[in-house]
Structure formats: structure tokens, C-alpha cells
Amino acid sequence: MAGVDAVPCTLGVPFTRKPITVYSDGTLNISAAMSQHGVKRVVAVSSSATYPHHHDDGGFRVNRILQPIVVATVGKTPYADMRLMEQHLRGSDLQWTVIRPSSLFDAPTVSHYQVYEDRAPGILTSRADLADLADLADLADLAASMLEQVTDIRFIRKAIAVTTTEGTPCADDARRRRHSRLRPSLDPWMAS
């Protein structure tokens, strides 16, 4: 970490009912390395389902059926560990920002996404293919908002939500595409 100004933290695991500590232990390890090298700025990805709330765009199906089921079953342990990760950051002396995307989908380019402090009304956030972040012009909204937050001081020591506002597929289409690729999502809270 020597010589870096900020650390983007995009830890993730597939849903599981088994206890996990990837988010909390990973953040503690990253924080220790940052302290050792005098790095203060970290932007960490969490999830909008870490602290479930009503999504204005979610409707009955998302707000009353899908989100409660996922959060209480296959998402229970990952979201508990994300909450612990956020607690570690809040208790640190780091200049942190936690980004809480909603259900993720792939998009070819960055849209006119919106950033909200703490919670967002939307249910979808586009992401970049995390295997290929070399071409900055092709970053999707989650990755673009992470890079923006590295230098944005408005949300230091705050959680923000990022929501894609245009070019979103319907939730069923996004979920089907994600599952058809059999690739774990960073935040598949709408998956069944």
C-alpha cells in the first residue's frame, strides 16, 4: 500500500447460510495495512440490504416479499458480516465512505446514476465487469461512483446509496441475466 492515496474495497462472497467473516476480517486487515502505510481514505462496497428499508421503486414484490426472504435466509450471514464491516469502519480513524448499491446488473456504460446519503429509492445499480476495469470509459455506475468517492469529501465517514436512474432492465430481466451467467454477484439480494 505504500504510495497510494486511497483504497477501494470491493470484498464479496456468494450467498451462503454458513457464517462468514470475509467483509469484517478483510476490512480489519485492510485497515491495519492502511495504518502501517499512513493511508487514510477507503471507499468500501456494502449493500442496500445490509440495513433493509423500503425502496420507493420496489413495489410490493420487492419490499414485502423478495427483500425480507433473502435478508432472512441466504443473505442473513453475508449481511450480518457487512454490518460488522461497517461497524469496524465507523470505529476507525479512517476517512471512510461506505457505498450501498442495490441489486446489481451489467451495463455497457456509466449512466446518470444518483447518489443518496444512507438510502436510495431505487432497486437497481449497474456495475462494471470487475474482471476488466482497465477501460475507464466503460465503467458502470457502481465502479464510477467508487472512483468518484475517492476524491469527493462530501461523504467522508458516511454511508451512501447509488442507484441507476436510466437504462435499467426490469428486475426480473436483471436477475435472469445474472443467474444465466452463473457468476456470483456482489449484492444479489433479489436472487432466489
Which residue did the predictor score with more confidence, 40 or 62?
A: 40
**pLDDT at residue 166, as a whole number:** 74
* Domains of the chain in sequence order: 6-180 (3.40.50.720)
91 pLDDT tier (thresholds 50, 70, 90): very high
Which pTM was predicted?
A: 0.77
**pLDDT at 10 exceeding the cut of 70:** yes
CB-based contacts of 42, cutoff 8 Å, min separation 6: 6, 7, 8, 9, 30, 31, 34, 89, 94, 95, 96, 97
Q: Are 151 and 168 in contact (CB under 8 A)?
A: no
Q: pLDDT grade, residue 127 (50/70/90)? A: low
- The answer on pLDDT for 56 being more than 80 is no
Q: Within 10 Å of residue 181's Cβ, how many Cβ atoms? A: 10
Per residue in 55-67, is it b (16+ CB within 10 Å) or e — as a string? bebbeeebbeebb
